[in-house]
Structure formats: structure tokens, C-alpha cells
Amino acid sequence: MLSKDGKFLGIFSERDLLKRVIAKGLNPADIKIDDVMTHEVMIAFENESYEECLAKMKKAQIRHLPVVDKNNNLLGMLSLRDLMDISLDEKTEKIELLHSYIYYRPPFEESK
């Protein structure tokens, strides 16, 4: 959720809906998001590495991480899947590099 001037205030997730509305038997139509959303949210800054973001998600046991700039303006949302894809791509590149190193054959030159 953003303030009128675009500052990040909090997040309303599926988990918030289930724990703070449905589990308490409240009618979603009667609830204001601000009353049930998570205000103290773990965030990532635009210059953090994917490893730092993954560590934050693991520590907080969350699957989504809002990304903000230095002025607390929301830039986007980072998902666990996004980070796992990056990690997988990086490991695939390393495997391909090692494979090419192990199986490299120098060009054969015939002797004269």
C-alpha cells in the first residue's frame, strides 16, 4: 500500500487475508485494508544483491519482498520464484563453464 505521495506503507497479502480476516470470521466487505495489512514489512533496497534478498526472505519466512529506493518509494515486488530463477540461471552457467573446461579438446594439428 502506498501513501498519497507514493511512499510505501505496508502490504496486504494472502496470508493477511487468511489470518486476520477469514480465520477471525470477519466479513471482507466490512474490513479496511489498513486495519488488517502488515505495516512492519521486511523490505529490500534497489542496490541489494539477490543473495541478501533471499536471506531476508528466509529469515522472515516470507515469499514476497517489496523493493524500495532510498526515499522509500516502491519500485516493485520481488518474489521467491524470481530469486530462485536467478540462482538457477547462475548455477546453470557455472555447470556449463565447468563442462566445457573438463571436456575441452585442443584443435588437432597434423604433423608434417
pLDDT tens, residue by residue, 3-52: 788 777 888 988 889 999 999 999 999 999 989 998 888 999 999 998 89
Q: What are the strands of the beta sheet with 44-45, ordered from one edge? A: 44-45, 64-68, 74-79
Q: Is residue 112 assigned to a domain?
A: no
Q: Is residue 93 assigned to a domain?
A: yes
| Domain span including residue 67 | 14-102
End-to-end CA distance of the chain: 76
Q: Is residue 75 assigned to a domain?
A: yes
* DSSP bridge partners of 64: 79
DSSP state of 22: I
Whole-model pTM: value is 0.64
CB 37 within 8 A of CB 12: yes
Number of domains in the chain: 1
Identify the pLDDT of residue 111. Answer: 67
Q: Is residue 96 assigned to a domain?
A: yes
Q: Is residue 84 assigned to a domain?
A: yes
Q: Is residue 2 assigned to a domain?
A: no
